[in-house]
Amino acid sequence: MRNIMFMCGLLACTLLHAEDEPVMKLTALELIEIPVTANPLSLSNDDLANPVRIFSGKDLQNRKNSSLGAVLDGVPGITNNSWGESVGQPVIRGMDSNRIKILNNGMEIKDVSNMSGDHAVAIDTLSSEQIELIRGPASIIYGGGAVGGVINIIDHRIHSEYIDGVFGKYDQNFGGANNQSSSAFAFDYGHNDNLMFHLDGYQRDSKNLSIPGFSVSKRLVESDDEFTRDKYGKDTLQSSDNKSAGGSLGVSHFFDDGFTGLAFSGHRVDYGNPLEAGGKFDLNTNKYDYVLEKNKISTLISKMKFHLGYSDYDHKELEPDGAVGAEYIDKGTDGKLEFVHSYFNNSPGVLGFNFGKSNFSKSQGDPLIANNQRNNFSFYLLEDYFVGKHKVSIGYRHDFNRYRSNDFTSDDGCTAAYTSSTDCASSGGTEESTTFGKTNKTFNSNNLTLGTVSELNKQWKLSLNLSHNERAPAHNELYSYGHHHATETIEQGSRDLKKERSNTIDAQFKWSNQRTIFTFSPYYTDFPSYIGLLNSGETQNHLHEGEDDSEALAVYKTQNIPAKFYGFEVQGSLSLSNNYGLNVWGDFVRAKNKDGGNLPRIPPVRIGTGITYDWNTISSSLDLMHVFNQTNIGQYELKTDDYTNMKLTMNYKLPMNNNINLYLKGDNLLDHEKRDHTSFLKDKVLMGSRSLMLGVTGDF
């Protein structure tokens, strides 16, 4: 309540001090989609040194799914690190976790999804208006060390432009392999030429996931006699249900050459743990945002933007009887101040500052990670120059990170197997634990990018990007040490970790004419120091409540190693006629430990093709994606079989009211067994069976 009162008071102050001048009005019909709303330079796709992929409108609607990873899965270069149907984290070019920045309206989402595959990203795309994938020099302004890229989820809870009158939209759907029912709405109102109000809400209710066969793979059963094919379900995946709800409220005030706004958003999701019948996860997050933007500051500064956010995040892991087995709490403030300027040349540049403070605690359950506090401060600079027909972008970012951790004693487990009738010592084992004192760690990291865009002729365009990235270890990489109940692993971080350092070269060759577009995007990243969570081959034994025999859990250790990633994406589209189009795409990535062997959980080769049809109020597409088997596996990792996924989307706008759209989505129409090689659960959990979903969207 105090936070709400504080933010309301802050908004009132800004309203009193804002210049009450008339502002230019836009009607809803005059709105123009901004190509990259996360980009303060407002550059178009083709102006960026490495083009940004944007999902909005019908394209985004056709992609929306239960998790962010599932929404983006199938985009060239992006795969899904799934935890059943309810949780999915995006993997970009084989990189996940802390090498990807996930933003909401340009600010990093605060959650614990980077700690483990079972932790959901604390946002639902049901209420999103646009999703952007950002690579190249522009990504440097959103965070250091984002080697994989930046994903920005955009909504309009704080409007940046005035729109007169009342308008909104809604979405309702039913079906899918998880028998889902979901609905979402957004309502906006522009009043008195200078005020805009926003309200949105959503809910999702899905049942246990239907799967085409046994949850556990043959390879896992053959390699470990502890597992049976139906251990986690046959035809239906146990404890894979999901209930989520949330919404936001925002208000914006417009004045001469600027605006200010305030918003509150809440998100809650309860989802099952497929590894434990009746086990649940309960995620709650509340977020407060304040934005102030002022244009035409001076002849050299065209825009100033200040964004302040506060997050209160809570994640509980519940036992089947409802008891809390683990709880993660993260509270903190983040801020950004940036200036769009022309100090150094006639082209626009951006100078910015980030700052933040977070407090993390694990208050219940087995010891896994030390409570800690994190402080960060950054400044960044992105400049554009033109040399003939060549555009050059230069970016620099410096990050300062400080960690303070509390005393901590871990629960490593027993060195020998034991039963409920004997303890660890009587079975001949030793109950191991490790004690750590208070620790202070400080890291300074630098990121530098150089990108070019060149028009070689009317058909060919070349984008080239060179970057040096440094990333401070995340708090979970430093301070985790013990039994992670949800993933059934022992995770051992290291307080001696060094910065992650990498050098990347990537390019995009684009050929286009009136009917055809073709792109080829190769890349190579060398890591002199890569922070990897790797299976050590060691095990520790834990006896879970209610069971008779202890389980041998694999020990994963976080360590600095030399590594390299390389691969490419290819994509093409051809207009066959006024109504038909053809799309083809593919991606390939390899990742190696330069000390020997492959890195684990790297996506296999994929190729896809699709045909589209548009006629009057009807649009549809039929897509076929083949995912090859993955045999280039890491140590202690199992191979993954290939599969083919066929998807169908159909949209029909009602002739009597073009604002109402009916849609049909079909997934896994061939009913193949699908396993995500990037997932820790890929041999325990099968993805959904053949399914259809029917929905309706509308706007007013």
pLDDT digits (tens, 9 = 90+) for 450-500: 999 888 888 999 999 999 999 999 999 999 998 887 778 889 999 999 999
Q: How confident is the model at residue 20 (pLDDT cuts 50, 70, 90)?
A: very low
Give the separation between CA 13 and CA 8, rounded to whole angstroms. Answer: 9
Residue 373 has pLDDT above 50, yes or no: yes
Q: Kindly report the backbone phi and psi dihedral angles of residue 560, in degrees, each rounded to the nearest multiple of 5, phi listed first.
A: -85, 125
Beta strands per DSSP E along 76-121: 78-83, 87-92, 100-104, 107-108
Distance CA 570, CA 584 (A): 8
In which band, very low, low, confident or very high, does the pLDDT at 215 lie, cut at 50, 70 and 90?
A: very high
46 has pLDDT over 70? no
* Structural domain containing residue 647: 2-699
Residue 137's pLDDT is what?
77
Domain count, the chain: 1
Predicted TM-score of the model (pTM) = 0.90
DSSP letter assigned to residue 475? H
CATH number, domain containing residue 496? 2.40.170.20
Amino acid at 614: D
Report residue 24's pLDDT band, with 50, 70 and 90 as the boundaries. very low
10 in helix, strand or coil? Answer: helix
Q: For residue range 539-572, list pLDDT tens digits in order.
A: 999 887 677 888 888 999 999 999 999 999 999 9
Three-class SS string for 237-293? Answer: CCCCCEEEEEEEEEEEEEECCEEEEEEEEEEEEEEECCCCCCCEEEEEEEEEEEEEE
Contacts of 44 (CB under 8 A, 6+ apart): 35, 36
DSSP string, 24-58: --B-GGG----S-TT-TT---GGGSSSPPEEEEHH
- What is the spatial distance between Cα 653 and Cα 132, in angstroms, rounded to a whole number? 26
Q: Calculate what percentage of the chain has a pLDDT beyond 90.
A: 66
E strand spans, 342-485 = 349-364, 372-387, 390-405, 408-409, 413-414, 431-432, 435-436, 439-455, 460-471, 481-484
Residue matched to tokens 């890591």:
527
Q: What is the pLDDT of residues 675-691, one digit of tens each?
A: 999 998 999 999 999 99
Instruction: Kindly state the DSSP code that residue 686 receives in the 8-state scheme.
Output: P
| Amino acid symbol at 385 | Y
Q: Is 238 exposed, middle or buried (0-12, 13-18, 19+ CB in 10 A)?
A: buried
Under 8 Å between Cβ of 481 and 406: no
Exposed e or buried b per residue across 359-389, where buried means at least 16 C-beta atoms within 10 angstroms of its C-beta: ebbbeebebbbbbbbbebebbbbbbbeeeee
Is the pLDDT assigned to residue 17 strictly greater than 70? no
pLDDT at 347 over 80: no
Q: How many CB atoms lie within 10 A of CB 296?
A: 12
CB–CB of 508/523 below 8 Å? no
Q: What is the pLDDT of residue 566?
A: 97
pLDDT at 600: 94
The DSSP H or E segment spanning 70 is helix 68-72
Structure tokens at 691: 């399914």
- Element spanning 476, H or E: helix 475-479
Please answer whether residues 120 and 102 qualify as being in contact, where contact means their C-beta atoms are separated by less than 8 angstroms: no
User: pLDDT per residue over 105-124, tens digit each?
Assistant: 989 998 989 888 888 999 99
18-33: average pLDDT: 37
Distance (Å, rounded) from C-alpha 326 to C-alpha 281? 10
Weakest-pLDDT range from 13-17, 425-429, 552-556: 13-17
Question: Torsion angle, CA of 481/485/489/493, rounded to 10 degrees?
Answer: -20
What tokens does 78 get?
A: 């992006």
Residue 518, Cβ density class (10 Å: 0-12 exposed, 13-18 middle, ≥19 buried): middle
101 closest CA partner among 434, 447, 347: 447
Name the token pair of 599.
């890195």
Which single residue is written with the structure tokens 């060691």?
Answer: 538
User: What's the rounded Cα separation, in Å, for the pair 684 and 487?
Assistant: 11
Is pLDDT of 55 > 70? yes
Q: For 574-604, how does the pLDDT look when each residue is reduced to its tens digit (9 = 90+)?
A: 999 999 999 999 999 999 999 999 999 999 9
pLDDT of residue 412: 85
| Average pLDDT taken over every residue of the chain | 88
pLDDT digits (tens, 9 = 90+) for 380-414: 999 888 887 788 889 999 999 999 999 999 988 88
